[in-house]
Amino acid sequence: MDNSTEDIIFPFSAVQGQKQFKLALLLATVNPLIGGVLISGPRGCAKSTLARAVADLLPVTEYTTSQFVTLPLGASEEMLIGTLDLDHILKGKQVKFSPGLLQKAHTGVLYVDEVNLLPDHLVDQILDVASSGVNIVERDGVSHRHDARFTLIGTMNPDEGELRPQLKDRFGLMVELDNQYSIEERINIIKTRQAFELDKVAFCDEYQAPQISLQQQINDAQELLPKVTCDDACLIEIATRCQQANVDGLRADIMMHRASLTHAAWCGRTTVLLQDIDQVAPLVLLHRSQQSGTPPNSSSGPDQPNKSPTEQNRNGGFSRPKPPQENDSESQASETKSDQQSQSNDSQEQAESGGEWGAMPPQSGEQQKTASQPVQLPELQHTPLTKVINGNVLQGELQQNAQGKTAKGLRQSSLNSHKPDWFNTLSKSLGQWPPAQFSFKKAKTGQAKHHLILLDTSASTLTEGLSSLAKSVVMNIVDSAYLKREKISLLGFGNNQIQTLIKAGKAPKKVQMLLDDINAVGGTPLRQVLEKALQSIKQLRIQTPDLALFCYLITDGRSRADINDLKLQVPTLLVDVEKTTVKRGRGTTLAAQLDAQYFALSS
């Protein structure tokens, strides 16, 4: 293939389907102050293809050159916002600002792939600049500001971890994609892609007219946008929809108003109509709406409508059998005996096939109100498998020797980090290279902590009030994390499924209502929840390498799963909530297999 054609991008207008995705990108291109577009979906949904293609539609002027800038996953803060120009300092002996990717993306597109895996502080900075259009740098002795108006596009695969709700809320628009296509759509996509690969130049020529039309429409909409107005009736409609969606704060209202103005300009009108609000409302509310009063885990089957917990228990949900009445007929007694015999046979078959202890068919469970109990958990300890080795050392002149000195013989303070403070270093040794003395940035005084809680919600936890006891342990961990401003995530495992009850983020102030809505049902998918925990730990370490992780497994130990090959490699505490004197569960065995501490709550 000719190298000159390798940089040719697949045309935006040639992408099949994805109507909502295209609309969101076009609106953000017309008005970058919308705050960017977050695209959530699995692999193969044309996320990257459309993101790159929209850059070709940006209007071109003789004064600006729009660029498509990709933020690498391992980008540093200096690479993003800019830093000192060391070469100019050494040669010209003057402080000069070296721009970062935010300035390079000005008037263009900043594309952040796998934004959910970026460190939170980088995502914060990107969203701050995207919403204001200005990058302000106050660091390393530099005071600098520059325009940075760009179309922000962030993509994420939900299978690889969620984005913090606080960060997700700051994206102006969001689109959720799937990779479910009809046979006809799949064939059209294959044919279109094949035609592009065979002759890129001819293919792009074929779509030149619609591309130019889109480009002109974007330019016209940008010129019309300042003239668009929104009357009180539409403002009331916007406020009503946001209130009904139970959104937090007023950002949704502001974004829906801004997106409605942009959509009206895109359609060539100077007045916002109801149809503009209809088009943008799903994009604005998708990641912000909250369903008040909805239980965190619904175990309704496909043929069973969602019901409140009370209705579930009243209409066929899990409940203990009632004592027989004196006026029961002989036929009813016979029927009850038959049902009990059938259940016994089912349980025996499940046990013989290696099922979980206390397992039940998937069904609704019985709620238990959490009675707060004082719980004193032991302090988590590192084991040989969980020791953290800090191997970050400077190379060359900055590398420390065994006595804690640098190669120049200067001792580095324990209050300093391994990162050099270039401004102070060069200021003290201006004109000398290598510098006579290195200065280091101050080390962080604390370490961020994250508590991963795995709560057993299987049917066996219903007996003897174990559900209330287990939830009290969760409340103890969450309350402590809240007071220390630490982060948590909570996974429930029961009824042969795993549910994210609390997504990774700051510990909430109150969790009792959430815990009271949890139904304890079904079997114990212990191995599956540990595999999920391993995946979560890996993602958290990518996002925040210095994060201190702790795991709590709260269970009665009634599981036959073999987990000897699953090592979480973070300090783990298995809290055994089984209250019997003679343990029927395998708490101690499971703790040994996980290389975890064991703590029997009954003791």
Q: Note the CATH number of domain 3-223.
A: 3.40.50.300
Torsion 102-105-108-113 (CA) sign: negative
The mean pLDDT value for 441-446 works out to 60
Q: What is the pLDDT of residue 269?
A: 94
Q: Is residue 434 reached through a cis peptide bond, with omega within 30 degrees of 0 on the bond before it?
A: yes
Distance of CA 476 to the CA centre of its chain: 25
Rounded to 5 degrees, what angle do the CA atoms 85, 113, 255 make?
A: 95
Token readout for 201 is 């130049």
Token reading at 504: 């990774």
Q: What dotted CATH number matches 228-291?
A: 1.10.8.80
* Beta-strand pair 572-576/548-555: parallel
pLDDT confidence tier of residue 150, bands split at 50, 70 and 90: confident
Q: What angle do CA 11, 13, 17 make, to 5 degrees?
A: 115
Residue 328 has pLDDT above 80, yes or no: no
Which pTM does this prediction carry?
0.58
Residues 457, 470: Cα–Cα separation, whole Å: 9
Q: What are the φ/ψ torsions at residue 431 (nearest 5 degrees)?
A: 85, -5
- What is the C-alpha to C-alpha distance for residues 139 and 128, in angstroms, rounded to an integer? 17
Digit-coded pLDDT (tens) for 215-229: 899 999 999 999 999
So where are the chain's domains? Answer: 3-223, 228-291, 449-600
pLDDT band at 329 (very low <50, low <70, confident <90, very high): very low
What is the per-residue pLDDT for 381? 66
Please indicate whether residue 509 or residue 474 has the higher confidence score (pLDDT): 474
Query: Which of the residue ranges 159-173, 243-257, 392-406 has the most confident prediction, judged by mean pLDDT?
Result: 243-257
Q: So which residues are the catalytic ones? A: 251
Looking at per-residue pLDDT, the higher value among 192 and 346 belongs to: 192
- Multiple choice CATH, 449-600, 3.40.190.10, 3.40.50.410, 3.40.630.30, 3.10.180.10: 3.40.50.410
What is the per-residue pLDDT for 180?
77
pLDDT(501) > 80: yes
**pLDDT computed for residue 297 by the predictor:** 36
The pLDDT tens digits for 343-356 are: 444 444 443 333 44
Q: At what angle do helices 274-285 and 251-266 cross, to 10 degrees?
A: 130
Asked if 497 and 365 count as a contact pair (C-beta separation under 8 A), the reply is no
Confidence of residue 508 (pLDDT cuts 50, 70, 90): confident
Of 79, 76, 28, the closest CA to residue 51 belongs to 28
Using a pLDDT cut of 70, give the percent of the chain over it: 67
- CA dihedral (575, 577, 583, 587) in degrees, to 10, reads -30
Determine what percent of the chain is predicted with pLDDT higher than 90: 18
- Provide the token pair at 293: 């009063």
Confidence of residue 388 (pLDDT cuts 50, 70, 90): very low
Which of the given ranges, 145-154, 301-310, 513-522, has the highest pLDDT on average?
Answer: 145-154
Q: How confident is the model at residue 307 (pLDDT cuts 50, 70, 90)?
A: very low
Phi and psi of 147, rounded to 5°?
A: -65, 140
Strand boundaries in 87-209, DSSP class E? 97-99, 109-112, 134-139, 142-147, 151-156, 173-176
Tell me the average pLDDT across 112-131.
Answer: 84
pLDDT, the chain, mean: 75
CB within 8 Å of 396: residues ≥ 6 apart: 407
- pLDDT at residue 168 greater than cutoff 70: yes
Q: Give residue 530's pLDDT.
A: 92
Question: 471: which 2 tokens?
Answer: 């939830």
Q: What is the mean pLDDT of residues 41-55?
A: 82
Fold matches, 228-291 and 449-600: no
The residue type of 411 is R
Per residue in 253-296, pLDDT (tens digit) is 999 999 999 999 999 999 999 999 999 999 999 988 875 433 33
More confident residue, 536 or 131: 536
Q: What is the DSSP code string of 357-418?
A: TT---S---B----------PPPP---TTT---------GGG---TTSB-TTSPBPPTTEEE
Phi first, then psi: give them for residue 513, nearest 5 degrees: -65, -40
Q: Please report the pLDDT score of residue 386 as a whole number.
A: 54
pLDDT tens digits, residue range 88-115?
A: 666 666 667 778 888 888 888 888 888 8
Q: Kindly report which listed range (81-90, 493-502, 593-602) carries the lowest average pLDDT score.
A: 81-90
Q: pLDDT confidence of 602, banded at 50, 70, 90?
A: low
Residue 222 to residue 246: CA distance in whole angstroms: 32
Distance CA 31, CA 218 (A): 9
Q: Lowest-pLDDT range, 70-74, 392-396, 434-438?
A: 392-396
